[in-house]
Amino acid sequence: MNKDLIKERLGEKLELPSLPAVVQRVNALIEDPTAGMREVGAAIGLDPPLTAKLLRIVNSAYYGLSVPVVSVEHAASILGIRGLRTLLLRVSVYDIFAHLHDHPEFDVRGLWKHSVLTAQLTGATAARTRIRSDVSTDELYVCGLLHDIGQFLMIEHVGDEFIEAWNRARERGTSPVAAEREVLGFSHTDLGAMLARRWSLPTHAIQAIRFHHDMRRAAPAEPVVALVAMANILARAAADDAGPRGVCRRAGPALLDCLSLDKRGVEELIETGRKMLPDIRV
C-alpha cells in the first residue's frame, strides 16, 4: 500500500477520524465474557440521539419487523449484540462524515446511499450464491458498508484532486481508481484500507476495502472480497437503473464464476437492490 506516499502527500492534513467512545465501549463489552446484553444496552442508552437513530433504522422496512422496536434492549434481543454493534457502526460512520453531506461538487449523500445499499446487497448476494464464507452476516454488512470509506476521506482531505480524477475517468470512460492514482498517486481503496487498519477492523474487511475494484490482487481464500466487489457493481446498477448485461460485463467472468452467478441471478439481485433503495434515507 502507498502508505508513505499518502503521508507524504497529505502530511499534517491527514488526521484520520477515530471511532466514537461508545463504539469502542461496545466493542470492549462484546469481547468481555462477563458482560451481557443489558450492559451493552446501557452503554448505548447513555447517548439518546444515537439511540433514536438506531431505533429509526431498526424500524425501517429493511428489517421487516411486525412490531415497533422501542428500546435498545428490545433491538438487541432481535438483532443480537453483534447485529446491534453493526448498526451502531453504521450510525457512527454516518455522523463522522455528515458534515460533508452538502458538498457543492460531489454527491456525498449519494455515496452514503451507495454504501448502505452495497452493505445490504453484500448479504443478499451471499444468500443467493453458493460461495461459502465463515464470516457472519453482520460482518459482511460492515464490509459492504465501509468499502468506499476512503472516498469520504478523499473528499475531506484532497477533494479538488479527487473530483479532478473522477472527471478525468468519466471523460475517458476509464476506472476512477486508475485516475485517482494518476492524479494523486494513491486511491480511495488505499486510504480506506489505512483507516480500516487504524480502526482495527478484521482482515477480511481491510481486504474488501482495499481490493473491491481489483479482486485479482486479493487473497484467493477471501470470498468476502468477491461478495463486496459484486455488491458494489450491483448497487451502482440498481441506482442507475442499469440492466444485467452491463453488470455482467463490469463484473467479468472470473467474478461471476467465483460466485456461481448467471445473468438471471444478476437480474434478480439488481431488482432486490432497486426495492431496497427507497428505504435508505440520508
d(CA 50, CA 42): 12
For 38-64, letters b (16+ CB in 10 Å) and e give ebbbebbeebeebbebbbebbeeeeee
* Residue 250 beta carbon to Fe ion: minimum distance, rounded to whole angstroms: 12
Interaction of residue 125 with Fe ion, rule CB under 5 A: no
Helix (H) or strand (E) holding 19: none
Nearest to 212 by CA among 96, 119, 102: 119
* Residue 11 beta carbon to Fe ion: minimum distance, rounded to whole angstroms: 24
* Residue 132 beta carbon to Fe ion: minimum distance, rounded to whole angstroms: 24
Number of residues engaging Fe ion in binding (CB under 5 A): 2
| 155, 162 contact by CB (below 8 A) | yes
* Residue 39 beta carbon to Fe ion: minimum distance, rounded to whole angstroms: 35
Residue type at 202 in one-letter notation: P
E-strand spans in the chain? none
| x-marked contacts with Fe ion along 143-182 as a string, rule CB under 5 A | -----x----------------------------------
Phi, psi of 68 (to 5 degrees): -65, 140
Helix (H) or strand (E) holding 81: helix 72-97
Q: Which residues contact 148 (CB under 8 A, 6 or more apart)?
A: 111, 114, 115, 118, 188, 192, 232
Residue 24 or 175: which CB sits closer to Fe ion? 175
Residues 79-108 that bind Fe ion (CB under 5 A): none
* Residue 196 beta carbon to Fe ion: minimum distance, rounded to whole angstroms: 13
| x-marked contacts with Fe ion along 197-236 as a string, rule CB under 5 A | -----------------------------------x----
Residue 125 or 232: which CB sits closer to Fe ion? 232
Residue 148 or 222: which CB sits closer to Fe ion? 148
Query: Of the listed pieces 20-28, 87-95, 142-150, 166-174, which binds Fe ion according to CB under 5 A?
Result: 142-150
Residue 138 or 148: which CB sits closer to Fe ion? 148
Residue 51 or 151: which CB sits closer to Fe ion? 151
* Residue 142 beta carbon to Fe ion: minimum distance, rounded to whole angstroms: 15
Residue 26 or 227: which CB sits closer to Fe ion? 227
Q: Would you list the DSSP string of 217-261?
A: GS-TT-HHHHHHHHHHHHHHHHHHT--HHHHHHHHHHHHHHHTT-
The alpha carbon of residue 16 and the mean position of all alpha carbons in its chain are separated, in whole angstroms, by: 17
* Residue 86 beta carbon to Fe ion: minimum distance, rounded to whole angstroms: 18
Residue 91 or 230: which CB sits closer to Fe ion? 230
* Residue 118 beta carbon to Fe ion: minimum distance, rounded to whole angstroms: 6
Q: Is 28 exposed, middle or buried (0-12, 13-18, 19+ CB in 10 A)?
A: exposed
Residue 86 or 232: which CB sits closer to Fe ion? 232
> Where does this chain bind Fe ion (CB under 5 A)?
148, 232
